Structure 1
Amino acid sequence: MDFFELFMQSLPRFADGMRTTLFLTVAALFFGIILGMIACFFKISKLKVLRAIATIYVDIIRGTPLLVQAYFLYFGISQGIGITMTNTTAGIIVLSLNAGAYLSEIFRSGINAVNKGQMEAARSLGLSYSKAMIKVVLPQAVRIVIPSVVNQFIITLKDTTIISVIGAPELMKTANIIVARNFRGFEIYGMVAILYFIVIFILTKISQVIERRLSNGKSKSSQSA
């Protein structure tokens, strides 16, 4: 069986694995954005308790390898507390926690990048701090962080390969199963590398287009001002 025949034979399984990979990535980014926003607001809160909670969460997640987090959640917690979960659920939780920690810093840097005069001007017009944040600061911060969020999507997509260690049926796990059956690791892993490259290349180009359009829009608005 030549390379092309092997690829066509493995394509349906690759398609299933890629669907799971994209599902894990999208779900993790969705929940990661929620966690990241919460941690971000905790981090910039005036309450020390909230800042401490956010700092501990971010430091623990960013200070430990994703592989260790996956093992701890799927094997450690399930044995220690007796909570059972599917490998896909565990994968989404781990990737969400990981993405949320990094996104919180992305959101915080975006908020800090907004000119402080915007908040002061909004407050001088009679808006409360929360309304000024929601209506004035956040829309500008979102515009700033969009390219970084897309980049985090790419990173999370790559991180799904690590989730294969707990048995989640994503693309890498699918490749391992195929190799275990036909012992043609060179060809199969080469195909997987090509598939990942194609998807990540497309996402990278999308990120560059978004960043370029945002930069052009920003320059036009500054010129009109």
Structure 2
Amino acid sequence: MNLDFSQLVPYIPFILEGIWATLKFVSVSIVVGFILGTLLALCKITKLPFLKGFADAYTSIFRGTPLILQLMIIYFAVPQLTGYDISAFLSAILAFGLNSSAYVSEIIRAGIMAVDRGQTEAAEALGIPYKPMMINIILPQALKNILPALMNEFITLTKESAIVSVIGYLDLMRRAQIVGSDIYRNFEPLLFAGLIYWVIVFILTQIGNVVERRLRHSD
């Protein structure tokens, strides 16, 4: 096997800087996706046909088209229409946040629907308004049920973050590609990047397990 990791050593700090670049936009995208996904989920269970139709159409579009296509439309096509350039960082946040919200909305909707109907009826009987009821009673119970699915979505988002390399964002994958083209060896930097992705996902998985256990013990 023609492997030589010694040439990779000088580039390790450069590649490691991609960890922060990756986590920075992924963390913001997760927050955007969770907030927007929660709002979409509430729209889906509302009795207002317009809001329900909008949420369903939104989910259908973003789940039915490739993430890389959405990313390239935001980065390349939107500036063509508006005349304003969008940075690679902002494009990544928009694409991943909007895409993730479609999946998160379905997860949260399913979690809300899984909460015993009697909880809602009891809150209504006590005269609790809809908003406080959802925030203080329904959503906390739904969160406990959907946490594993949410963590899986966030882990998937982290792995798919490598897609942003196609628009030149200097994330972990893009830096590995640059090093590969510089030393004319691709296996070593890509393998190193893959190891880093695995460590990140492993850490996120362990954090998710800890949070899940704490929520379970708080019942």
Cα deviation for residue 200 of structure 1 reads 0.9
Secondary structure of the corresponding residue to residue 85 of structure 1: coil
Quick check: 1:147–1:207 contact (8 Å CA) kept in 2?
Answer: yes
Cα deviation for residue 89 of structure 1 reads 0.8
One-letter amino acid matched to 1:13: F
Bigger drift between 16-25 and 205-214 goes to: 205-214
Look up the match of 2:34: 33
Distance 1:144 1:9 in 2: 46
Equivalent pairs: percent with the same residue?
Answer: 38
2:148 aligned with 1:147: yes
Q: Which structure 2 segments of 5+ residues have no match?
A: none
Look up the match of 2:122: 121
Look up the match of 1:188: 189
Partner deviation per Cα, 1:4-28 (whole Å, 9 max, x = no partner): x334322211121111100111010
Look up the match of 1:159: 160
One-letter amino acid matched to 2:65: T
Distance 1:206 1:172 in 2: 24
Distance 1:120 1:170 in 2: 49
One-letter amino acid matched to 1:184: R
TM-score using structure 2 length: 0.93
Distance 1:90 1:129 in 2: 35
Look up the match of 2:105: 104
Look up the match of 1:198: 199
Partner deviation per Cα, 1:135-187 (whole Å, 9 max, x = no partner): 21112112222222222221111111111101111001111111111111011
Distance 1:100 1:63 in 2: 13
Q: Which structure 1 segments of 5+ residues have no match?
A: none
Cα deviation for residue 124 of structure 1 reads 1.2
Distance 1:126 1:94 in 2: 40
Cα deviation for residue 122 of structure 1 reads 1.2
Quick check: 1:88–1:169 contact (8 Å CA) kept in 2?
Answer: no
